């Protein structure tokens, strides 16, 4: 089994690319979705979070705004929260791997892969990337997003150019959907083959610090 880490900065189109991998029959582990499930109604970390951060949960699970306020700017609080959430996510990851043990390729969709050192737990890394102007326009269209929030989020993320330089594959999303899907298919073919044999991905798909 090959474990491919899929990552990309905010607004790059990572979720769309993850779905394209799923459409190709590749199992995808969505780290963000798992956290939301664990913190949602009847989520198994809700009680522990309430015990450590009283008043941050309710009938719908964790109140993400209240929790953010409780840990914002407090390193000790953030570490306490991570000590609750990360082991639970790790257990879900282990269950995912067990469920798909026979799969030749699995995807770990992790937004902060490089920021958290998650690249050490995968075999290869694919970075989803787009022109900065496209990225900014997409992000500012999100409900509640402002230019200040966008800039603050970017400041906490590894720059896109560095991510591309460290990646094994770069998948562009500032092209047509058909072109992006073709890149995804070439990554799958390169890693596990699709009748054309492994090693079929072209150089444009390989990680590079050149270009954008």
6: Cα separation from own chain's centroid: 6
Which residues are CB-neighbours of 142 under 8 A, at least 6 positions away? Answer: none
* E strand or H helix that includes residue 5: strand 2-7
Angle value at C-alpha 166, between 153 and 197, nearest 5 degrees: 125
Give the DSSP per-residue string, 45-90: THHHHHHHSTTSEETTEE-HHHHHHHHTT-HHHHHHHHHHHHHHHH
* E strand or H helix that includes residue 3: strand 2-7
| CATH code for the structural domain at 1-27+105-212 | 3.40.50.300
Angle of the 75-99 helix axis to the 31-39 helix axis, nearest 10 = 110
Along the 212 residues of the chain, how does pLDDT read in single tens digits?
Answer: 999 999 999 999 999 999 999 999 999 999 889 999 999 998 999 999 999 999 999 999 999 889 988 987 788 998 999 899 989 998 999 999 999 999 999 999 998 899 888 899 999 999 999 999 999 999 999 998 899 889 988 988 999 999 999 999 999 999 999 999 999 999 999 999 854 334 444 444 655 444 44
| In the chain, where the domains are located | 1-27+105-212, 31-99
SS3 assignment, position 129: strand
């Amino acid at each position: 089994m090959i474990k491919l880490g899929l990552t990309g900065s905010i607004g790059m189109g990572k979720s769309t690319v993850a779905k394209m991998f799923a459409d190709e029959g590749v199992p995808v582990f969505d780290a963000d979705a798992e956290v939301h499930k664990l913190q949602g109604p009847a989520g198994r970390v809700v009680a522990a979070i309430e015990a450590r951060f009283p008043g941050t949960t309710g009938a719908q699970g964790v109140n993400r705004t209240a929790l953010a306020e409780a840990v914002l700017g407090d390193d000790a609080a953030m570490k306490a929260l991570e000590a609750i959430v990360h082991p639970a996510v790790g257990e879900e990851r282990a269950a995912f791997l067990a469920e798909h043990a026979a799969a030749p390729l699995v995807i770990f969709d992790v937004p902060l892969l490089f920021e958290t050192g998650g690249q050490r737990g995968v075999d290869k890394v694919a970075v989803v990337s787009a022109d900065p102007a496209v990225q900014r326009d997409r992000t500012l269209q999100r409900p509640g997003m402002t230019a200040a929030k966008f800039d603050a989020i970017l400041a906490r993320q590894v720059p896109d150019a560095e991510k591309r330089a460290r990646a094994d594959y770069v998948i562009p999303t500032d092209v047509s959907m058909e072109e992006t899907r073709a890149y995804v298919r070439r990554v799958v073919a390169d890693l596990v083959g699709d009748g054309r044999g492994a090693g079929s991905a072209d150089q444009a798909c390989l990680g590079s610090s050149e270009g954008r």
